Structure 1
Amino acid sequence: MSATATAGADRPPLLVLGVPARKFFAFICMVFGMFMAILDIQIVSAALSEIQAGLSASADEIPWVQTSYLIAEVIMIPLSGFLSRALSTRWLFVISATGFTVMSVMCATASSINEMIVYRALQGFIGGGMIPTVFATAFSAFPRDKQAVVSPIIGLVATLAPTIGPTIGGYLTDLFSWHWLFLVNIVPGIFVAISTFLLVDFDEPDLSLLDRFDWWGLLFMAGFLGSVEYVLEEGPANDWFDDNVILIFAIVAAFSCVAFFARVLTARDPVVDLRAFLDRNFAMGSGFSFVMGIGLYGLTYLYPVYLARVRGYSALMIGETMFVSGLAMFMAAPLAGRLMTRLDPRAMMGLGFAGFALGTWQVTYITTDWDFWELLVPQILRGVSMMICMVPISNVALGTLAPETMKNASGLFNLTRNLGGAVGLAIINTVLNNRMDLHLSRLHEQVAWGHLPAEETLASITAGMAARGSDASLAALKQLAGIVRQQALVMSFADVFYTLTFLFLVLVLILPVMKRPQARGAAAGGGGH
């Protein structure tokens, strides 16, 4: 053998962030797969009316396009830890990416609402395995001292994807058709499946685990999480337990909850190992992740609802307005990574939640005239705060765990964020509905006969419509009623933002009680640092 060949053989592999370049590229491909799975939670939200028209669905049926995906995904996320250990990271990700892509094709070709709901559920269930697997890989494959770079990458993807989902959905629907919400996944999905098959070799499968798979545990977990997700999604719009279906699902959730925890605590190989919560850092980090889910999914929901119902914006206009938060997150990612190396994680979380509180407090002054420019600063604060929160929360929860517990813990950690979003949306919709009723009753008292300002306003509207026909009085009353409802709705939005401000401030006050997390040596980094 020549000296040149010998030198080439002895040359150390090219390293990126302390790991071989091949491993780093494989990780980036996995991150791209996670981006697709999280993006599809929100990408249909801006185009539900178009899907409804295309599939001839009813108003009661169309929300299931999103609900079915969320219910299925929330079941898979904690299950992914077990499957990743049994099948290996490589095969779980290849199966998830392939199945997600196939189901995207099926969604695009669905000819009825029932087909769409089934395909969306399968898409969410299969694709949900990609999300926690990426988090586990990030904290087990990279050295501890490289987490300041890796954490912002996964944090950016996990928060950016649902934020820009309505924007991308609005553009695709406006420029092409709703089918492209799903067709857009095909080429990236094929790329992710092939690249992870060829490149990912982080661990080996342990197929013996499948022989001891806890089917009862899976059944109880599915009943518990699926029913909770359904109750939280549908409860606010159906008067909660006054609706018989919601009451039945609540009973199923309660029974399944008790059975699930009994099974998990007694089974030899539980489908989900809850012992990770005995780690103080993980438990605290998961709690903050739960609340961050409220900020992530709650505000991603609130702004579009305001813009659509009050301002009358189209899906495309809503997407363009919401893009500000996504841009702010992207710009803040390097800042979050730098701060992580210099600040106590508690200080970073304090800054982040304080930024959330400041942004939501500014929106408590909302009026019917607010549009892009009035929402600009609150959206920037939300985007920057999201990144500053996400990075230390992930590191507090996962950064000090032993590698053998990482896969299971990652599923639980991601589950808390999704459940936080579900609980947050339920609280937001309940407050919105209740305060709407309260403000309507109070405003009706102010526009009753005998109140001079109301009578003057009605007379002015009637005079303006007199030239349009003989029904000017009726039309004026209808317009005045619309004005009252719109004002009541805006006042309800302000109340919701007050509630969120209070929640974020409480978290800032709790932070000093939390102990500063200590690293658990080199094992947590996956390298020799």
Structure 2
Amino acid sequence: MTAQAPSPPLYVPPPRHLTPTGEIDWPKVFLGFGGMILGQFMAVLDIQIVAASLTQIQAGIGATADEITWVQTSYLLAEVVTIPLAAYLCKMWSTRTVYLWATAAFIVTSIATGLAGSIETMILFRALQGLAAGALIPVGFATAMTVFPPDRRVTANVIFGLVVTLAPTIGPTLGGHLTEALSWRWLFFINIAPGLLVMFLVARYGDFDTGDPSLAKGVDWWGLATMTLFLLSMQYVLEEGSSEGWFEDDLILWLTVAALVSGVVFIWRQLAYSQPIVSLRPFADRNFALGAMMNFVSGAGLFGGTFILPLFLGQVLHYTAAQVGTTMLVSGLVMFAMAPVGGRIVRAVGVRIPLVLGFGLAAYGIGLGARVTADWGFWEFAVLQAFRGVGVMLAMIASSQLAVATLPQNQMKDASGLINLIRNVGGAVGMALLATLMSDQSALHLADMAAAVSMSNPQAQEMLDGLTALMQQRGVADPEGAARKAFGMMMRREATVLGFGDGFFFLAAACAAAGLLGLFANPPRPEPLPVVSRR
């Protein structure tokens, strides 16, 4: 028999983001990656865009004060379930496929939410919108860490950090002005045009990898079920625990037990199962574990700061939604200006110094709020936000870079989902603890003031006499009763201010502790800055 000639080797195409010569196709990468970043910005923005317009939404659909809070809560509850699941879906179906389906779902559910005529319908579609948003948030970061070469990952981290910090900061500003100019329904309709642009860019330029359909076999359904129960229970307890009195409420108590049990079972399942729905292997890397802890604190500092400052401006100073948005704009502008500078610092000196410096500046800026008074104006808040903005941005870029600095390439997608989940949970924990702390401390300060007045404090009696005389001059029927009522309102306001000051101090202490953790980081040497020749 005549021997057959060997078959020619099959042509193996280069990775989709490379040219046939093996070089990175940068125009394609930036357009595809830019589409993903825009989608991520939309998903994060929608967390806070309704914050300044809840009153208008409540009036528009006839909801109660308790029901309207679920417009935010349902979105967050659904979002945290999809964030860690996104990495598995991308490995199974490819990043582009998952992103296109998630963006399409986000657009459709945004339209449905904007057209909702009842609170029940709005909560349903808002939850579905959150499910789609959860798939959009971690994918951009994972793509950057797998497509960009190591010397360009700091730049990708800068862009990612800018989106994560800027979107929730400008959310109340954009939402407040949009509602005043058009209507609250446009808070959701605004997603249509950028969503279609995202789909075009990702469909045309976002083909960076291929999926592995075999992962559909042997899906860890038990892991998915326990993860969903764990995240939903934990998020609900954190969101609603403060307003319900924590463990005094039976539902909060049993959901806490469910979160603890399902959390333990979920971790055991992911470590024991051959094909886990969420890989926990990145935690074996010391730098990732430290970076995750710091992202938890930076999430608390970011979302906690965005939570406490508008609350003070609205409750104590009685600012309108537009005034709150204008004051909060300082944070967004500072973070936007700091992003490229922070990336260059991290690239020049490594992550350890920026971590300590960033958390230190954030602690100092937020700590200024510990002495907040009702007489503060725009410039006092501007200084606080400037230091906080610089510090949080620098710390977030450095902590994200630290988390992935020594991870192998095949763990980047899992790491991205975990980092985003940890940051969001950190924000939820921070806001829940802040709400409880400020409520308890305000009550404590009010009790101390009342005790001082009851002991016939001379200054208090002098003020009460002055208020009584003022009421007599105004011809009030019961001047002494009106004076006591006014004095009580003044005490409650001062106690509230002191409670906010304690909240600022708590956030500052957490940032300072995270800065100390940065000393234990063991990152690789910083990438050298490119040398520009001059003639």
Q: Give per-residue Cα distances to partners, 1:316-362, cap 9 Å, x unaligned.
A: 11011000000000100111121122112010011100001110221
Higher mean alpha-carbon deviation, 197-206 vs 498-507, is at 498-507
Distance 1:98 1:289, change over 3 A: same
1:132 corresponding residue in structure 2: 138
1:3 corresponding residue in structure 2: none
State whether structure 2 residue 45 is matched by structure 1 residue 60. no
CA drift at 1:517? 3.5
2:290 corresponding residue in structure 1: 284
Work out which of the residue numbers 371, 379, 388 in structure 2 matches 1:373.
379
CA drift at 1:506? 2.0
Tell whether the 8 Å contact from 2:296 to 2:422 is kept in structure 1 after alignment.
yes
Please show how residues 226-375 of structure 1 align to structure 2 within 5 Å: 226-375=232-381
> Aligned partners of 2:356, 2:254: CA distance in 1, in Å?
40
Please show how residues 126-275 of structure 1 align to structure 2 within 5 Å: 126-275=132-281
Tell whether the 8 Å contact from 2:19 to 2:25 is kept in structure 1 after alignment.
no
Tell whether the 8 Å contact from 2:31 to 2:201 is kept in structure 1 after alignment.
no
Letter in 2 for 1:322: M
> Aligned partners of 2:340, 2:27: CA distance in 1, in Å?
21
Tell whether the 8 Å contact from 1:449 to 1:455 is kept in structure 2 after alignment.
no
1:433 corresponding residue in structure 2: 439
> Aligned partners of 1:449, 1:274: CA distance in 2, in Å?
59
CA drift at 1:510? 2.7
1:31 corresponding residue in structure 2: 37
Tell whether the 8 Å contact from 2:405 to 2:524 is kept in structure 1 after alignment.
no
CA drift at 1:119? 0.9
Work out which of the residue numbers 488, 494, 500 in structure 2 matches 1:481.
488
> Aligned partners of 2:94, 2:50: CA distance in 1, in Å?
31
1:102 corresponding residue in structure 2: 108
> Aligned partners of 1:468, 1:321: CA distance in 2, in Å?
39
Distance 1:261 1:19, change over 3 A: same
Q: What's the % identity of the aligned pairs?
A: 44
Give the superposed CA RMSD: 1.8
Tell whether the 8 Å contact from 2:91 to 2:211 is kept in structure 1 after alignment.
yes
Letter in 1 for 2:496: L
1:525 corresponding residue in structure 2: none
Letter in 1 for 2:443: D
Tell whether the 8 Å contact from 1:13 to 1:20 is kept in structure 2 after alignment.
no
CA drift at 1:266? 2.0
Tell whether the 8 Å contact from 2:103 to 2:198 is kept in structure 1 after alignment.
yes
2:14 corresponding residue in structure 1: none
Aligned length: 508
CA drift at 1:24? 1.3
> Aligned partners of 2:490, 2:25: CA distance in 1, in Å?
61
CA drift at 1:430? 1.4
2:479 corresponding residue in structure 1: 472
Please show how residues 480-499 of structure 1 align to structure 2 within 5 Å: 480-499=487-506
Please show how residues 450-461 of structure 1 align to structure 2 within 5 Å: 450-461=456-467
> Aligned partners of 2:227, 2:378: CA distance in 1, in Å?
42
Higher mean alpha-carbon deviation, 295-304 vs 445-454, is at 445-454
Give the alignment's TM-score, normalised by structure 2. 0.92
> Aligned partners of 1:259, 1:510: CA distance in 2, in Å?
29
Tell whether the 8 Å contact from 1:363 to 1:497 is kept in structure 2 after alignment.
yes
CA drift at 1:449? 6.6
Q: Give per-residue Cα distances to partners, 1:476-495, cap 9 Å, x unaligned.
A: 22211111001001111111
Tell whether the 8 Å contact from 2:356 to 2:519 is kept in structure 1 after alignment.
no
Distance 1:488 1:273, change over 3 A: same
2:425 corresponding residue in structure 1: 419
Letter in 2 for 1:308: G
Higher mean alpha-carbon deviation, 397-406 vs 39-48, is at 397-406
Work out which of the residue numbers 31, 42, 49 in structure 2 matches 1:43.
49
1:508 corresponding residue in structure 2: 515
Q: Give per-residue Cα distances to partners, 1:138-159, cap 9 Å, x unaligned.
A: 1111111122322211110111
Tell whether the 8 Å contact from 1:68 to 1:120 is kept in structure 2 after alignment.
yes
> Aligned partners of 1:479, 1:39: CA distance in 2, in Å?
40
Please show how residues 378-417 of structure 1 align to structure 2 within 5 Å: 378-417=384-423
Q: Which runs of 5+ in 1 are unaligned?
A: 1-11, 521-529
Tell whether the 8 Å contact from 1:324 to 1:380 is kept in structure 2 after alignment.
yes
Please show how residues 64-83 of structure 1 align to structure 2 within 5 Å: 64-83=70-89
Distance 1:38 1:452, change over 3 A: same
> Aligned partners of 1:159, 1:228: CA distance in 2, in Å?
24
> Aligned partners of 2:309, 2:20: CA distance in 1, in Å?
45
Q: Give per-residue Cα distances to partners, 1:377-413, cap 9 Å, x unaligned.
A: 1101111112211111111112432222111111011
> Aligned partners of 1:331, 1:189: CA distance in 2, in Å?
26
1:462 corresponding residue in structure 2: 468
Q: Secondary structure at the match of 1:129?
A: helix
CA drift at 1:258? 2.2
1:8 corresponding residue in structure 2: none
Moved >3 Å (runs of 4+): 12-15, 517-520
Q: Give per-residue Cα distances to partners, 1:81-100, cap 9 Å, x unaligned.
A: 10010110001100111111
CA drift at 1:268? 2.0
Distance 1:259 1:510, change over 3 A: closer
Q: Secondary structure at the match of 1:238?
A: coil
Tell whether the 8 Å contact from 2:347 to 2:526 is kept in structure 1 after alignment.
no
Distance 1:14 1:266, change over 3 A: closer
Letter in 1 for 2:173: T
> Aligned partners of 1:42, 1:504: CA distance in 2, in Å?
22
Tell whether the 8 Å contact from 2:405 to 2:523 is kept in structure 1 after alignment.
no
Give the alignment's TM-score, normalised by structure 1. 0.93
> Aligned partners of 2:411, 2:514: CA distance in 1, in Å?
28
Q: Secondary structure at the match of 2:138?
A: helix
> Aligned partners of 2:59, 2:264: CA distance in 1, in Å?
41
Q: Secondary structure at the match of 1:137?
A: helix
Q: Give per-residue Cα distances to partners, 1:195-228, cap 9 Å, x unaligned.
A: 2112211011112211222222111101001100
Tell whether the 8 Å contact from 2:285 to 2:406 is kept in structure 1 after alignment.
no
Letter in 1 for 2:147: A
Distance 1:148 1:447, change over 3 A: same
Higher mean alpha-carbon deviation, 249-258 vs 227-236, is at 249-258
